[in-house]
Structure 1
Amino acid sequence: MDIKYNVEFVCPDNPRYIAWCAKNKKRYNKQSPKRDPHVAIYQLALRKWENVIRTLLSQLINEEKNRILRYSKYSSYSNYREIDFIGKLQSNSLMLCEIKLKEHYHTSLSAKQSGWAQLNKSISIAAHQFSDIGGLSICVDMSAIFTLKQLTDNDSQHQTYCHYQDIPSYFSLQPYTKNTLWLNSTEIADLAMQNDLLTGDEVNNLKKLFEVYKDPLSLLAGNQNNHVTNRPFMMLKHFNHK
């Protein structure tokens, strides 16, 4: 027997949604070990990039600001799913978008990696109330910001980026077409700085946060190097005692 949901979209500052998030965060903190603060800072920076992309999308696409999917069985406890961006199309249909910041460009991604696993579930739930609803995966190749090389020659030879101004073409497609588009982080960074959404320092700092996220010990090594650099005569002590 299929589950029937009561479905609606609410805004991110909905009091019940905020309370639900706080409750789940408290439960998560009890069950999980304490997180590395550097990881939390890095993830916060990524969230800001997602907000930037959402703002840039809203300059091209008619945005549905109520992007939190609330669903429940009738007369039961509500659950919520955050949708990164929702576009309202001319046909009054909705396009649910998942934004993924990826370390590298990949010619093929699994449903989980591309965000389509999340989209499929959100679309199936929303379909209980909305008849014309589709999805779009928006992946951002962050390798230029992180200054990383492509993993394989195959990926580098088949890089196909969607330019910012061409994004609306994906929203004019049939809503049931499962598309994944790739954006270049260099173009996004340039647009963000032009629109005062990010500063140059914030763009450069993300690379440093990424390096610490990948290798926390690099921060310790960096501090030690800075310590020696700032006290150049300290090393002479070792020679004086020989």
Structure 2
Amino acid sequence: MPIRALLVLLVFLNLGVAAWALLGPERTRPAAATPAAAREVPELPLAPRLAKAAPVGPAEATGAGNGEAKPAPASEAKAAEPAPAPAATAASAPESAPTCLRLGPYADEAAARAALAAARGQVLRGQVQQQAAAAPAAYTVSMPPQADREQALALAQRIKDAGFDDLLVVNTGEQANAIALGRYRSLAAAERRQQSLRDKGFAARLTPAGEAAAAPWWLAVAVRDADAAQALAALAGASQSRKLDCAAVR
């Protein structure tokens, strides 16, 4: 047989085998064993479930297909977060403590009140105060004036006989015929002298030496700061300005 004819025959044989393999009856294969529970539960169709599912946007479908979770939009995230509590109102800075002064002295109450009225717009609070009267410079112990000089001399002799040698009979003036028994700078010393005479039966008297100085008037004021205090003394016409405890200013 020629070689060409042999080759053609082999080609046709191969084509026939291939056609039979493709178009012939399928081989019977044994069904795979399935669990009893799986055979009893019928398989549900997918179409109804797909129909009820919510539509998925393109971007969400892409993310789901890739197996990645897509974060919620920024606007939705902000809405979900709880609103921050309102910030507490910042405490106002404490004001500086006021400066308190005693301004004066003034000759009388009227002058002090006029000065306070002139400075009223520059002070936080203020008042007029009178300083305590100055203590006398000295105190005298004496017997009151007698009816005449003879009686004054007789009384002076009796006081000497009682042991008091430091005395003087006043000759002239308003206190003529009085008996001076001592002059003391200390009130306590004058009171001791007076009491010793009374213990001997003499009604000695104790009087201040001269008139006490008049009590001056002052302003007690509170101002905002030291700068205002410097200007206030000139405005109120005060010759002196002294620091003062603010508890004394009402």
Shorter-chain TM band = under 0.3
Q: Over alpha carbons, which structure has the higher Rg? A: 2
TM-score, normalised via structure 1 length: 0.17
| Higher helix proportion (structure 1 or 2) | 1
Choose between structure 1 and 2 for higher RCO, CA contacts under 8 A separated by at least 6 residues: 2
